[in-house]
Amino acid sequence: MSDRKPNFLFLFPDQQRPDWLGFNTELDIHTPTLEKIAARGVRFTNAVTPSPLCAPARACLASGLAYERCGVPDNDCNYPLDLPTYYMSLRDAGYRVAGVGKFDLHKDTSDPANLDWGLDGSRLLAEWGFTEGVDNEGKTDASDAYRAAGRPKGPYFRFLAERGLADLLVEEHAKQREYLGAYTTALPDDAYCDNWLTENGKKILTGFPEGQPWHLVVNFTGPHGPMDVTERMRKSVENRVFPEPVANTKHTKEDLLRNRQNYVAMIENIDRLIGELMEIVEERGELENTVIIYSSDHGEMLGDFNRFGKKTWRYGSAHVPLIIAAPGVRAGTVTDALTDLTDITATILEYAGCAPLPEMSGRSLKGLMEGRTGGRREVVRSALDGWRMVYDGRYKLVVGDGEASALFDRSVDPHEEHDIGRDNPSVVRRLSSKLSLGS
């Protein structure tokens, strides 16, 4: 790698399962752009989120702190403005620090003022450490804020209102339960949120000055529910068949298949958009000096165990994809090394030559990716109010969640259906000792 500080292109979809990407050859999913990134970098197959909920996960990522220390216990909390972020560190190191999409760092719905992104999407960006960007509304937050205020409260609904499309999307969101959240939107492709926010990212990326290092995080709103897709996207998946969910007893096969088809359509659309961003990086002549990261805040249950969305310790919710392509890494490597989102924070800071954040939980993956150090975690943890989970790459122990401790052996029980804790007390004891942050 040259003496220049590397750039960072951070691709961050919302609610992406690690097993629902083109790397899983058992599923009819096509993600050629991600496969190209993985061929240039390292793909981690044992990544988890520190907390499977939007605001806590993003707070852990911003701060590098574990769930218990990130200051955001659930989705009704704002990121503490006195808590340092890695964005601040990059800005102080001379980076242009930009972001587009759904940041989800102000979520306290008890105060209506928090459902306000600024019509240009700049509210609180400087306080979090950004030099520029467009923070837009998430899916349901967007229509909820518009409905409550009677006017746009963020840049995406401002755009929709100017196009005469805002009321249409509010009406669609109000009816989504009729379709189990999976439907074809009447929005044209250029007004679909992920497509629109990517255009914002492309403008910022194109405008970065030459010679100054930059960081751009693209916070896609998909493949988060509702599973809304455009007509073009729907046509791309309507004839594909996907396996039925695990242990689902509540929903019809038709609704479940439509959900899974639309989920895939969103993933493939995001892959296409990532390709457009990558083309700009290449045109700028910066591809070889850019760290490209793909991950997500949490997964999506997709009907497994009668659940959709997140908030549970189960695989579909708590595990996330992670791909990092960077100068000097062992290209094309696939590793089962344990990792979580806070390790991304530590990795970015090391590549940028910045000091670790205070009390940071994350560990840099740079040495591991370059083959210089082992750098492996013994366990990774995930948590949310009411439960704690610890995972060692084979066994997963869960405590709380309104039930007794449960232990699963994912090597033979990947769907986590069989609690084997009673027959393996020594494993329960060993992993119980690892639940605390100090272990």
For residues 58-85, give the mean pLDDT. Answer: 96
Tell me: do 293 and 405 sit in the same domain: no
Whether 240 is covered by a domain: the verdict is yes
Whether 1 is covered by a domain: the verdict is no
Q: At which of 338, 357, 377 does a domain end?
A: 377
Domain CATH code at residue 412: 3.30.1120.10
pLDDT band, residue 249 (cuts 50/70/90): very high
Whether 184 is covered by a domain: the verdict is yes
Q: Is the pLDDT of residue 142 over 90?
A: no
267-307 residue pLDDT tens: 999 999 999 999 999 999 999 999 999 999 999 999 999 99
Whether 201 is covered by a domain: the verdict is yes
pLDDT band, residue 184 (cuts 50/70/90): very high
* pLDDT value for 1: 43
Whether 277 is covered by a domain: the verdict is yes
Tell me: do 412 and 373 sit in the same domain: no
375-426 residue pLDDT tens: 679 999 999 988 999 999 999 999 997 667 899 999 999 999 999 999 999 9
* pLDDT value for 204: 98
Tell me: do 406 and 361 sit in the same domain: no
* pLDDT value for 372: 86
Domain CATH code at residue 147: 3.40.720.10
Q: Is the pLDDT of residue 206 over 70?
A: yes
Tell me: do 275 and 409 sit in the same domain: no
Lowest mean pLDDT among 74-83, 217-226, 375-384: 375-384
* pLDDT value for 236: 98
* pLDDT value for 338: 97
Q: Is 27 exposed, middle or buried (CB count within 10 Å of its CB: 0-12, 13-18, 19+)?
A: middle
Q: How many structural domains are present in the chain? A: 2
What is the rounded CA–CA span in Å between residue 116 and residue 279?
Answer: 33
Residues 6+ apart with CB under 8 A from 29: 20, 21, 22, 264, 267, 268
Q: Is the pLDDT of residue 18 over 70?
A: yes
Tell me: do 298 and 360 sit in the same domain: yes
- Residue 20 vs residue 374, higher pLDDT: 20
Tell me: do 132 and 201 sit in the same domain: yes
Q: Is the pLDDT of residue 438 over 80?
A: no
Residue with tokens 């306080």: 127
* pLDDT value for 80: 97
Whether 2 is covered by a domain: the verdict is no
Range of the domain at 101: 7-377
Whether 392 is covered by a domain: the verdict is yes
Lowest mean pLDDT among 78-82, 175-179, 290-294: 175-179
| Percent share of the chain, pLDDT over 90 | 90
Mean pLDDT, rounded, of the chain: 95
Tell me: do 93 and 49 sit in the same domain: yes
* pLDDT value for 439: 57
* pLDDT value for 113: 72
* pLDDT value for 19: 98
**DSSP one-letter string for 383-402:** EETTEEEEE-SSEEEEEETT
Where would I find the H helices in 150-252?
A: 155-162, 166-174, 193-207, 231-237
Structure tokens at 149: 């205020």
* pLDDT value for 436: 81
Whether 80 is covered by a domain: the verdict is yes
* pLDDT value for 376: 78
* pLDDT value for 403: 67
Q: At which of 357, 377, 397 does a domain end?
A: 377
Tell me: do 325 and 427 sit in the same domain: no
Percent of the chain that is helix, strand, coil (3-state, to 5): 35, 20, 45
Where would I find the H helices in 44-191?
A: 54-63, 86-92, 125-128, 139-149, 155-162, 166-174
Tell me: do 342 and 419 sit in the same domain: no
Tell me: do 349 and 416 sit in the same domain: no
* pLDDT value for 61: 98
SS3 84: coil
What is the rounded CA–CA span in Å between residue 43 and residue 402?
Answer: 35
Q: At which of 359, 377, 395 does a domain end?
A: 377
* pLDDT value for 114: 75
Tell me: do 241 and 152 sit in the same domain: yes
Q: Mark residue 420 as left, alpha or beta (left: phi above 0; alpha: psi -120 to 50; beta: remaining).
A: alpha
